[in-house]
Structures are given as C-alpha cells and as structure tokens.
Amino acid sequence: MAPRNVSHATLGSPLAEMAVLRDGRSARVSSFDVTGGNADCRPVKPGASLELASLTGAGCIHHIYFTILAEFPGDYRYLRDMVLRAYWDGEGTPSVEVPLGDFFGLGHERIRYFRSLPITVNEGAEIFGGRATSLTIGLNSYFPMPFSNGARLTLTQEGDYTVGAVWYHIDYEGFDELDPAVGRFHAQWRRENPTTAIGSSPNTTTNDAVNLDGAENYVILDAQGRGNFAGYFLNVDNLGGGWYGEGDDMIFLDGEAWPPTMHGTGTEECFGGGACPNTEYAGPYTGFHLVGNKDFSGKVSMYRFHVVDPVRFQSSIRVTLEHGHANNYANDYSSTAFWYQTEPHAPFPPLLPAAQRRPLAGDDPHDKAYRGLFEVQQVLHGVHQLLAKRRMEMPLETKQRVLEELGPAIERGFATRDYAAVAEHCAECRDLLKQVMMSLAD
C-alpha cells in the first residue's frame, strides 16, 4: 500500500499561515479614542515617553504601524529625535533601541517610499512639493516579535519640540506558552561620523592597500549569544565624493579570525545591486532605496534582509563592512541591525543624544534641495498660522505664484532630479512668503 502523504496544502507558501487554524488569540493595542470620538492620536512633549503597549503572558507581535504629524506638515525631524524601545519578558534594558526613522529605513530624515517584506513605508496625502513631502507617512513593520512573559514598547521624544500627533497600531497574538526554541527580536542603531580613512590615499576608489584583519571596519553589530542575524539598514553620507562602495562586508561568526566564513566582494553586492548603483530600487530582500545624486555624493540608504537565508551564530556574531576598499573613506555611516537571539543580550552601546544623531547638512544638490523645501514648509506653516489668527486669506498673487506655479515646479524638479531648479524655486517661495509674514506682522 502506498504511504499516505499528509501535509498542509499550502506548506512552503509565504501565505501558508493564513490557512493554518490555531488556538491563538488575536488582539491589538492602538491610539484609538477611548471616548468613542475621533481623537485617535497622542501628543508627545519634549522628553516625554508614550507607552505604546504593556502586554502580559506569552505572545508575538506581528505588525507595528505609525503615522506621525510633528510641528508642521513635512517636518521630519522626529525621525531621528524619537526613539522606539521594546522590552521582552520583564527585562530591565531594551532589546530594541533605535531612532524611529532608522527602524523604518529613513535614516537621513529623507522620505523614500519602498516595499520590502519586513518593512514598508507608504504614502499619505501629498502636500506642497508633491511626493517629496507628505502630510504624514505610513510606517509599517512585519518583523515577528515573540515574548514568553510580557512585552513593553515605548516611544520617546528626545527633541526639543512637541510632536503633535502619533497614531499607532500594534497587532499581536497571545497564546499559552512560547516554544523555547524561539529567539527574541533585537534591533540596534549605531553611527560613526566620520569613519577614519586608513592609508595614504584617502577617499579614492581604487588603491593598493590591503585589509587582512577587518579591525578598522565599520561595525554594524557585535552580539553575544545564540541566534540568527536577520538583516540591516545602512546609511552613508558620502563626504569624500566618488564611488565609496568598494568596501567588503565581513561577518565573523562565533569568535572566528580573519578571513571570516562570510566575506563579501563590495558594498553593492551586499545589497543585491549591479556595479556602483546610482539609481534607486527596492525589492523584498534588498534595495538601494535612497540615492541622492547620480555622482554618488551625499546621502544614500540601502537594506539587506536575511529572510530566506538567516545568518546563524552559536555564541557570537560581529557584522562589519569596510568603508571604502581597505577602509580608505572618511564618511558618515549609520545603521540599524535586526536579529534574534537567546537572552540575556550583551549591553548596547550608549545611544547618542538627539543632537548628535541629526543628519549632516550637505552641500550636494540633493541635500540643498531638501533643506530648501524644509525652509519653505516651515515658513508656509507660519504664514498659515498668522492668516488664520487674523482671519485673512493669502494675497491672490502670492497664492498663485507659490502654491499653483512654484509648488508643482518643485514637484517636477524632484521627479526629474533637477535639484538646482528645486533649490532656486524654494528660495523664491521662501522670500515671497517672508514678505507676507512681514506685512502681517505690521
């Protein structure tokens, strides 16, 4: 008699979990208005912490969502100023400690919409400047975050201004006990600004130096315990110019010496790109989702998620990357590492204060355009406040020039990467709006 072949019909499918019937208890905590009204958000004052969730028992968080409105639409300072922390099973120090934007891949306070499997950033209503800015943006995490004896999540505002509105959902499943083979989710942020250029030919793409130990590499993660490395976001502000990405990744497992078991061949290879990417792309596992300028200058962000190929370690892991070949580039590097491991985890490096986490103000065309747009939105917000206070309308000529002509022109400039035009239009907008403010102040 032929053997019976009994299996879940969808075994192996990424959608299989939807078909499997279990005894779990699905639940959500959110910022909904408990009075039944529509005030479904929370303000967070400077230095204050918002307790997002305090869960008991065993369970697993499956989805986290945020959308946030800070001082004015288009004000994205909160992405580095606010810090997300998570504590599992009553631990005293967090297993997750990351600036909010960096957790969701927005490491330079520059908005990029992208769809990977673990992290997605979605659009909201377009405002002045089109898709370059949005009223708010949708931040989504699909990393599973298991716990056996409670979970606590907080969001702290470490900037010097009030964040006016935080909307959030945390979707989770509760059950009786957690499989002891399941690790705990961890996320950690690091920054080195700038990295130290090694050798006699700093900030040059090709050179004859060698790296035979990895000691000067940028460190993405240095963890102790048993676990799986799940991936990372990397942000580079390329101050040196030229192609910065000849650096190899080197992942040292369980205390091994150089050369490590996992040794790569260049930065773009880590993130699945062709040679020297200068256009943006985003996929399920890899992406260069921010490329500021075609000549590689300025701000870039990228990701690599080990979803189908987790990097397993039994006692320790050290994830590193050369900053240029043989570490010969001096650039601003920051990163967020994601991994699962047994507890207790090694102490995290102290998180930099908010002022030291802020991105650099670059002189490259892309950064100048974004800074100009931020100034315009800030002044535009002030004008709208004064007009509302005086119950007045914006002068028709200014409204037509700023909102109906220059605003769409700025959107076109960002779409075509004509950042010089964006900066010029923003300067004109700013000056026109300041004239309105001066007239209202009289």
- Report the CATH number at residue 184: 2.60.120.1390
Tens of pLDDT along the chain (442 residues)? Answer: 566 655 545 556 778 888 888 888 999 999 999 999 999 999 999 999 999 999 999 999 999 999 999 988 889 999 999 999 999 999 999 999 999 999 999 999 999 999 999 999 999 998 888 888 888 999 999 999 999 999 999 999 999 999 999 999 999 999 999 999 999 999 999 999 999 999 988 999 988 999 999 999 999 999 999 999 999 999 999 999 999 999 999 999 999 999 999 999 999 999 999 999 999 999 999 999 999 999 999 999 999 999 999 999 999 999 999 999 999 999 999 999 999 999 999 999 999 999 999 999 999 999 999 999 999 999 999 999 999 999 999 999 999 999 999 999 999 999 999 999 999 999 999 999 999 988 887 6
Give yes or no: residues 45 and 183 share one domain.
yes
Q: What is the pLDDT of residues 281-293, one digit of tens each?
A: 999 999 999 999 9
401 is a domain residue: yes
353 is a domain residue: yes
Burial class (CB in 10 A: 0-12, 13-18, 19+), 90: exposed
Residues 116, 280: Cα–Cα separation, whole Å: 14
Q: Kindly report the length of the chain.
A: 442
Please report the pLDDT score of residue 1 as a whole number.
Answer: 55
Residues 107, 115: Cα–Cα separation, whole Å: 16
Give yes or no: residues 284 and 396 share one domain.
no
Q: Are 339 and 186 within 8 A, CB to CB?
A: yes
* Final residue of a structural domain among 357, 376, 394: 357
Give yes or no: residues 326 and 420 share one domain.
no
203 is a domain residue: no
Q: Are 369 and 419 within 8 A, CB to CB?
A: yes
Give yes or no: residues 320 and 381 share one domain.
no
Task: Give, in order, the Cα–Cα distances in Å from 49 to each of 84, 139, 171, 185, 200.
Answer: 10, 19, 20, 21, 47
4 is a domain residue: no
410 is a domain residue: yes
Give yes or no: residues 348 and 387 share one domain.
no
Q: What is the pLDDT of residues 23-73, one digit of tens each?
A: 889 999 999 999 999 999 999 999 999 999 999 999 999 999 999 999 888
In degrees, rounded to 5, the angle at the alpha carbon of residue 393 between the alpha carbons of residues 392 and 394 is 125
Q: Are 168 and 86 within 8 A, CB to CB?
A: no
Structure tokens given for 18:
């939807």
Number of domains in the chain: 2
9 is a domain residue: no
Domain that holds residue 426: 365-441
Give yes or no: residues 232 and 94 share one domain.
yes
Give yes or no: residues 290 and 403 share one domain.
no
Q: Enumerate residues 6+ apart whose C-beta is below 8 A from 399.
A: 393
Give yes or no: residues 93 and 185 share one domain.
yes
Residues 427, 369: Cα–Cα separation, whole Å: 10
Give yes or no: residues 332 and 389 share one domain.
no
* Final residue of a structural domain among 357, 384, 418: 357
* Final residue of a structural domain among 357, 388, 419: 357
Please report the pLDDT score of residue 131 as a whole number.
Answer: 82
Give yes or no: residues 349 and 380 share one domain.
no
Residues 415, 425: Cα–Cα separation, whole Å: 14
Burial class (CB in 10 A: 0-12, 13-18, 19+), 260: middle
Percentage above 90 pLDDT, the chain? 88
Please report the pLDDT score of residue 16 as a whole number.
Answer: 80
SS (H, E, C) the chain: CCCCCCCCCCCCCCCHHHHCCCCCEEEEEECCCCCCCCCCCEEECCCCEEEEEEECCEEEEEEEEEEEECCCCCCCCHHHHEEEEEEECCCCCCCEEEEHHHHCCCCCCCCCCEECCCEEEECCCEECCEEEEECCCEEEECCCEEECCCEEEEEEECCCCCEEEEEEEEEEEEECCCCCCCCEEEEEEEEECCCCCCCCCCCCCCCCCCCCCCCCCEEEEEEECCEEEEEEEEEEEECCCCCCCCCCEEEEECCCCCCCCEECCCHHHHCCCCCCCCCCEECCCEEEEEECCCCCCEEEEEEEECCCCCEEECCEEEEEECCCHHHCCCCEEEEEEEEEECCCCCCCCCCCCHHHHCCCCCCCHHHHHHHHHHHHHHHHHHHHHHHHHHCCCCCHHHHHHHHHHHHHHHHHHHHHCCHHHHHHHHHHHHHHHHHHHHHHHC
Residues 349, 327: Cα–Cα separation, whole Å: 22
Could you give phi then psi for residue 342, rounded to 5 degrees? -70, 155
Please report the pLDDT score of residue 140 as a whole number.
Answer: 98
236 is a domain residue: yes
Give yes or no: residues 416 and 280 share one domain.
no
Please report the pLDDT score of residue 50 as a whole number.
Answer: 98
Q: Are 194 and 216 within 8 A, CB to CB?
A: no
Q: What is the pLDDT of residues 109-154, one digit of tens each?
A: 999 999 999 999 999 998 888 888 888 999 999 999 999 999 999 9
11 is a domain residue: no
Q: Enumerate residues 6+ apart whose C-beta is below 8 A from 263.
A: 248, 249, 250, 251
Residues 409, 406: Cα–Cα separation, whole Å: 5
Give yes or no: residues 322 and 217 share one domain.
yes
